[in-house]
Amino acid sequence: MYSLDNTYSYDDLVQWYEKIIKNYSLDIKPKLVCELKIDGLAISLTYKNSVFTTGVTRGDGFVGEDITQNLKTIKTIPDKIVSDIQELEVRGEIFMPKTSFEKLNQKQLENGGKLFANPRNAASGSLRQLDANITAQRDLAMFSYYGRLDSKEYDIKSHSQMLDFLKKEGFNVNPNYKVCSNIEEAVEYCKYWDKERQNLDYATDGVVIKIDSFDLQSEIGYTSRAPKWATAFKFPPEEVSTIVKNIEVNVGRSGAVTPVAVLEPVYVSGSTVQRATLHNFDEVKRLGINIGDRVLIKKAAEIIPKVICVTEHSTGTPVPFVAPETCPSCGTKLVPVEGEVNLYCPNHLGCPEQVKARLEYWVSKDCMDIDGLGDNIVAQLVDKKLVETPADLYKLSTNDFMQLDLIAEKSAQNLYNVIQNSKHPTLARFINALGIRHVGKETSELLAQKFGTFENLKHSTFEQILEIDGIGDKIALSILDFFSNSFNNEVLNKLEMYGVVPQEMSQTDTTTLFSGMTFVITGTLSDTRDKFEKIIKQNGGKTSSSVSKKTSYVLAGENPGSKYTKAEALGVKIINETQFNAMLEK
């Protein structure tokens, strides 16, 4: 199953079309079919003698997973097609409607289950169930956009005829496709759906533009990964309108004080958003936001939502936001820090919000990974003065947890167990958990690789730290500063006393297979990106987030993005997961 080339620019679309006209000396402008690009999971269905026999995921394009039993529970996949056909393959996208996704998450919340980040993840999780009965309870649907049948009987000559055929045979074809006579009409289609997509009950991240005629498609052909007769226009990050209900002030773990807009909940780029950052107090002034105003928001880099602008001031008397002079958590006078726009609360040890934020960070996934100890529990532990520093977590008893609201004996026992079981994290995660300024996940991994044990890091010198490729003065000074602080040393001693000891980097766990090599990962692989990064690092390699001439390999999964195109342009070697595994086996 192929992937698609994509672009964010209308100019590129026009060029793609004009190049086809020129290269194939076409006298008549070729017809196009525009379809919404559904943000779901690609699958392929096989019908033998008119009966649905096998359904597989896209996988790496060559080998997918057989999920026939689960697909059989989806109503928009017919068990049997209308006509008598020996063999038919149909491809399309499985998705979960946005409203069903919201309902599923509500149900998960009530039953204490895992929440899904967006409808795509919910669809994927629902399809990958071992028990098809669970899939059957989830509201999944399929839009079909491709058919292949060997029989000449039907004489289907174009993509639009194929879509008509699929509809007649009982498949669900997205009704919003349009046959366009030229690229200008296709551009209009993209512009229309960029605005209108908010009102659809399924997620779409772009438009797929396909040459209609099958003859012309065959003439134009394919690259190794994508058809040259089709291209995808990706929508710019979605901008959605909502109301600012309040402006709160957030105190981060480093003491940085930032304004946050509390919003009327709204669905944007794949999830419901209730809060958006306003960055700093100058930004609130610049945007001219008052409480009650209508604003546009978007997800910056598709992750953290931000407020872009005010579109309509509230009709009532404006409630302006006044930046605080003192910390909203502990009342300490806020101070500016040279070279930074934020104000800071200097009460690092005593400010409850900072203490809570540091503990939330400590327990998070990339740090000590203490599953179950949510923000609410952390807040109660701090408010009840049971915990002040991460070390205090390890002396808590089951009884201590039972003093908290809504915690019964069984959950208290669970919390006690997860904390006790978290005492030996990897060295990198332990370093990350300490929250040393300017030291995040990547740097922690570099430090762990270099020093091997926590003792070595603790006693490292400025020069030794600087020997690490990718670490400069600012980070090195911050590390030395952290270890020379007496309070930090007190917490570290207590941690050790309670038996919190990170694993040492074992020499036997690592190889030099990838030493000197840099990998860039793009697209969806069979497991998390973290997992692949770990394998690369364990084998002596490095990972980077951007492709350059120095990149040794781009490891590309499903739906790779612009990194793939850049790698092609620079002539960087691109490998898929199967090839990567083969390298490891060597």
Q: Which residues carry out catalysis? A: 37
Residues 6+ apart with CB under 8 A from 500: 391, 394, 423, 424
The neighbouring-strand residues paired with 179 are 33
Q: Is 421 exposed, middle or buried (0-12, 13-18, 19+ CB in 10 A)?
A: exposed
- Binding pattern for the stretch 520-559 against ligand IVH, x by CB under 6 A and - elsewhere: ---------------------------------------x
* 209 versus 465: smaller Cβ distance to ligand IVH: 209
Q: How far is the CB of 564 from ligand IVH (least distance, A)?
A: 11
**Inter-residue contact 475 to 453 (CB < 8 Å):** no
CA neighbor of 257 nearest in space, from 249, 265, 269: 249
Q: What whole-number distance in Å separates Cα of residue 216 and Cα of residue 218? A: 5
Per the CB < 8 A criterion, the answer to whether 366 and 432 are in contact is yes
Nearer to ligand IVH, 94 or 476 (CB): 94
Q: How far is CA 487 from CA 416, 452, 492, in A?
A: 26, 24, 9
Which of 133, 148, 4 has its CA nearest to residue 69? 133
Other CB atoms within a 10 A radius of the CB of residue 339 amount to: 5
Backbone angles phi, psi at 349, to 5 degrees: -85, -30
| Nearest residue to 351 via CA among 327, 334, 322 | 327
Task: Choose between 230 and 412: whose C-beta lies nearer to ligand IVH.
Answer: 230
* 502 or 523: CB nearest ligand IVH: 523
The site string for ligand IVH over 325-364 (x = CB under 6 A, - otherwise) reads ----------------------------------------
User: CB under 6 A: which stretch of 35-43, 255-263, 325-333, 446-454 binds ligand IVH?
Assistant: 35-43
Q: State the nearest-atom distance from the C-beta of 222 to ligand IVH, in Å.
A: 8
Rg (CA), the chain: 28
CB atoms within 10 A of CB 233: 25
Question: In angstroms, rounded to a whole number, what is the distance separating the alpha carbons of residues 180 and 211?
Answer: 10
Structure tokens at 433: 């958990």
Nearer to ligand IVH, 230 or 554 (CB): 230
Determine the size of the site formed for ligand IVH (CB under 6 A): 15
- Residue 227 in contact with ligand IVH, rule: CB under 6 A: yes
Would you count residue 208 as binding ligand IVH (CB under 6 A)? Answer: yes
Convert residues 129-168 into a mask of x (bound to ligand IVH by CB under 6 A) and - (unbound).
----------------x-----------------------
- Shortest Å distance, C-beta 565 to ligand IVH: 12
Q: Which stretch binds ligand IVH (CB under 6 A): 30-38, 212-220, 266-274, 365-373?
A: 30-38
The one segment of 211-219, 226-234, 296-304, 518-526 that binds ligand IVH by CB under 6 A: 226-234
Find the length of the chain. 586
**At closest approach, how far in Å is the CB of 144 from ligand IVH?**
9
Closest alpha carbon to 386 in 372, 402, 370: 402
Q: Which stretch binds ligand IVH (CB under 6 A): 32-40, 44-52, 63-71, 192-200?
A: 32-40
Cβ proximity to ligand IVH: between 215 and 481 the closer is 215
Nearest to 75 by CA among 129, 138, 168: 138
Q: Which is nearer to ligand IVH, 5 or 392 (CB)?
A: 5
Binder to ligand IVH among 13, 20, 34, 42 (CB under 6 A)?
A: 42
Stretch that binds ligand IVH, among 80-88, 225-233, 308-316, 483-491 (CB under 6 A): 225-233
Q: Please say which residue, 228 or 245, places its beta carbon nearer to ligand IVH.
A: 228
Cβ proximity to ligand IVH, 345 vs 525, nearer residue: 525
Tell me which stretch binds ligand IVH (CB under 6 A): 1-9, 416-424, 441-449, 463-471.
1-9
Give least dist CB 530 to ligand IVH, A. Answer: 23
Can you tell me which of 37, 197, 299, 542 binds ligand IVH, judged by CB under 6 A? 37
Nearest residue to the partner ligand IVH, using Cβ: 42
Give the binding range for ligand IVH (CB under 6 A) out of 37-45, 243-251, 377-385, 423-431: 37-45
Q: Pick one of 88, 180, 230, 547: the residue that binds ligand IVH (CB under 6 A).
A: 230
Decide the pairing of beta strands 294-300 and 304-312.
antiparallel
Q: Give the H or E element holding residue 466.
A: helix 462-466
Structure tokens at 577: 């997961």
d(CA 71, CA 79): 10
Question: Which of 35, 60, 238, 445 is the binder for ligand IVH (CB under 6 A)?
Answer: 35
Which residues, other chains included, contact 443 with Cβ-Cβ below 8 Å and sequence gap of 6+?
470, 471, 475
Closest-CA residue to 75 (of 168, 139, 163): 139
C-beta of 2 vs 394, nearer to ligand IVH: 2
Least separation, in Å, of the C-beta of 215 and ligand IVH?
A: 16
Q: Distance between CA 542 and CA 468 in Å, rounded?
A: 12
Q: Whole-number minimum distance, CB 145 to ligand IVH, in Å?
A: 4
Q: Which long-range contacts (CB under 8 A, 24 or more apart) does 383-389 make?
A: 383/352, 387/355, 387/359, 388/349, 388/355, 389/355, 389/491, 389/494
Beta strand segments in 517-572, E:
518-522, 542-544, 553-556
The least CB distance from residue 115 to ligand IVH, in Å, is: 24
Rounded to a whole number of angstroms, the minimum distance from the CB of residue 146 to ligand IVH is: 6
Binding of ligand IVH by 3 (CB under 6 A): yes
120 touches ligand IVH by CB under 6 A: no
The residues in 553-582 that bind ligand IVH, with binding defined as CB under 6 A, are: 559
Helix ranges, 159-307 (H): 159-168, 183-196, 214-220, 281-287
Smaller CB separation from ligand IVH, 269 or 543: 269
Site residues (CB under 6 A) for ligand IVH? 2-4, 35, 37-38, 42, 58, 93, 145, 208, 227, 230, 232, 559
